[in-house]
């Protein structure tokens, strides 16, 4: 477990930050952007949980996701392979965690009617919060994809996990909209009164 006694260290005052191992990097480095966006997504999951207490099955899933997102962040904050003399292996996101997301997607999606259109974020406050978490997760996924391209030793499982996680947030967004009954559907070319003459 991590033990933190001091909140500020002044080590980042010059615009760099330390990774789990390796040299310090700029605070706008792609790797820092990637795991910083994971942290942002996690904060929005926490915000969604303010409204999920009345739905214990969903709240338990979100609690597990918050913990797993710390694992993803640790994975991304640890570049390179472990040295042979490492005292313990680096924390990496594991396929079993991604598989668990797939199981949750299948479980919650089973009760939903098929989509007739794309969905606009809205409906209930919890659904909207989950859509925000979904879009931030998609941004984290884009950053992880760029990081894997720039630093191929980066764990590809992080990308797979984030891809499934955004899918799960989408499904949960529908579930928390009364199983899709309160989904806000996109109406293409819906100009409303714009076509009427003044």
Tell me the whole-structure pTM to 2 decimals: 0.86
Q: To which H or E segment does residue 184 belong?
A: strand 184-185
CB 174 within 8 A of CB 111: no
Report the chain's terminal Cα–Cα distance, integer Å: 67
Q: Which of 20-34, 86-100, 120-134 has the highest mean pLDDT?
A: 120-134
- Domains of the chain with CATH codes: 26-79+92-187 (1.20.1200.10)
Q: What is the pLDDT of residues 3-36, one digit of tens each?
A: 555 554 555 555 656 556 667 656 567 888 888 8
Q: Token pair for residue 177?
A: 């909209």
| pLDDT tens figures, 100-109 | 999 999 999 9
């Amino acid at each position: 477990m991590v033990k933190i006694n001091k909140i500020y260290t002044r080590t980042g005052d010059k615009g760099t930050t330390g990774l789990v191992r390796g040299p310090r990097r700029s605070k706008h480095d792609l790797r820092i952007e990637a795991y910083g966006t994971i942290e942002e997504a996690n904060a929005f999951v926490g915000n969604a949980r303010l409204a999920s207490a009345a739905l214990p099955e969903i709240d338990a899933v979100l609690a597990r996701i918050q913990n797993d997102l710390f694992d993803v962040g640790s994975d991304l904050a640890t570049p390179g392979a472990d040295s042979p003399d490492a005292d313990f292996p680096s924390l990496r996101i594991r396929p079993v965690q991604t598989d668990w997301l797939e199981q949750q997607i299948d479980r919650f999606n089973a009760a939903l009617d098929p989509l007739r259109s794309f969905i606009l974020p809205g409906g209930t406050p919890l659904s909207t919060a989950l859509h925000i978490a979904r879009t931030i997760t998609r941004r984290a996924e884009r950053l992880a994809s760029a990081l894997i391209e720039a630093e191929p030793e980066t764990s590809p499982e992080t990308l797979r996990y984030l891809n499934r996680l955004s899918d799960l947030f989408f499904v949960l967004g529908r579930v928390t909209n009364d199983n899709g009954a309160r989904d806000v559907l996109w109406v293409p070319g819906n100009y409303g009164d714009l076509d009427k003459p003044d």
